[in-house]
Amino acid sequence: MTTVLLRTKATAIWAVLVALTTLSWMLGTTHGFGTDGHRRASVVILVVALFKARLVGLHFMDLRRAPTVLRALFEAWCAAVCAATISLFLFA
């Protein structure tokens, strides 16, 4: 049972999501980018968050097997939300 669970794609994606969450947490607490690192760390955290949303959509909501138009709309939505969020953060 355990070996089967460790070999599934869902488990691998889950592990990537956990690792990315840990990365975001570490960036949010240490700002490992120097003196003005909070802005860069925040942008990286936003990109990681949208990448995680993309992974969830593709792998756990089965959009990777969806019709091409639906998947393209989802990918465009992810890119647009990422760009808008980062723009609002940097320029507001």
The predicted model gives 40-66 an average pLDDT of 94
Question: What is the structure's pLDDT at 14?
Answer: 94
Do residues 27 and 41 touch, judged by C-beta distance below 8 A? Answer: yes
Higher pLDDT, 61 or 92: 61
Question: What is the structure's pLDDT at 33?
Answer: 57
Is 0.85 surpassed by the pTM of this model? no
- Per-residue pLDDT of 5-52, as tens digits, reads 667 888 999 999 999 999 999 888 765 555 667 888 889 999 999 999
List of residues 6+ apart from 81 with CB closer than 8 A: 50, 53
Domain assignments of the chain as residue spans, ordered by start: 2-91
Closest-CA residue to 43 (of 82, 17, 75): 82
Question: What is the structure's pLDDT at 5?
Answer: 64
